[in-house]
Amino acid sequence: MIAAVHEESRGTYGWPRVHAELVLGLGETVNRKRVARLMREAGLQGVHRRKGRKNLVNAATEEDLVHRQFAVVELDQLWLTDITEHPTAEGKVYCAAVMDACSRRIIGWSIDVSQKSELVIDAIGMAILRRRPESSKTILHSDHGTQYTSWAFGKRLRDAGLLGSMGTVGDCYDNSMMESFWGTMQIELLDRKAWKSRKELANAIFEWIECWYNPARRHSSLGMLSPADFETRLRPPDHGA
């Protein structure tokens, strides 16, 4: 069963998440230490994040409505957005994503061969269509990249009634939750093979977000629930989709 859970996680789960899946997902009664020991004996392990350098010296900006306070208790109270890139044999692929800080769910995303304003506008558009947030109650927090300071992006926020927020300049802690998400995608998907084409990588990113990360991947910060399961428990039964 441990081997099956590890395989279904795409070889990414370490013993804490394997244990959570056995207990919470499959209803098994098993000790954590036993799971860790059996995985060690079977040569099974999760993927690990590489340590990186962190920049701590940055000044806050007037537009910051979050001040690194990412702990929220309601859905659609705080959205976070950022862009990442990854190479293929044909050239780079850029991905913009929007995360609900409460559930860690990716509610909007966009993939393109360039990082123009349209990349982030499309990701925000998906999030708005999916969630339909109440006007002037949702904060969208980003960095100071040119895509997020463009007139077109600002107009999209205003039209949707979202409150734009930008924190410190060039600080990895300013949007740490999104940085954590990118780090997870990096080690669990992007760095695990060499990508031949942009289409291949774009399809893989789509599949990883919509078929694995959102509905199934367990988060320690969510009580070992997936983002989708966490939202199901958080929303009232009569809440609209």
Mean pLDDT of the chain: 85
One-letter amino acid for residue 166 of the chain = M
Two structure tokens written together for 37:
């020991």
Number of other residues whose CB lies within 10 A of the CB of residue 170: 10
**Cα 190 from Cα 85, distance rounded (Å):** 10
Q: Judge contact between 118 and 112, C-beta under 8 A.
A: yes
197 vs 241, higher pLDDT:
197
- Specify which of 42-51, 172-181, 232-241 reaches the highest per-range mean pLDDT: 172-181
Task: Calculate the CA dihedral of residues 192, 197, 199, 203 and round it to 10 degrees.
Answer: -10
70: nearest Cα among 102, 96, 108: 102
Residue 146 burial (CB < 10 Å; 0-12/13-18/19+)?
A: exposed
**Cα 52 from Cα 167, distance rounded (Å):** 21
Q: Which ranges constitute the DSSP H helices of the chain?
A: 2-8, 15-20, 32-42, 117-131, 151-160, 176-188, 198-207, 227-234
Two structure tokens written together for 136:
């002037």
pLDDT in tens, 83-131: 999 999 999 999 999 999 999 999 999 999 998 889 999 999 999 999 9
3-state secondary structure at position 201: helix
Question: According to the model, what pLDDT value does residue 62 have?
Answer: 40
Query: Is it the case that residue 169 has pLDDT exceeding 90?
Result: no
94 vs 175, higher pLDDT:
94
Q: Judge contact between 139 and 175, C-beta under 8 A.
A: no
**Cα 1 from Cα 159, distance rounded (Å):** 50
174 falls in which pLDDT band (50, 70, 90)?
low
Query: Is it the case that residue 37 has pLDDT exceeding 80?
Result: yes
Question: According to the model, what pLDDT value does residue 78 have?
Answer: 93
The stretch 51-58 carries a mean pLDDT of 45
pTM over 0.85: no
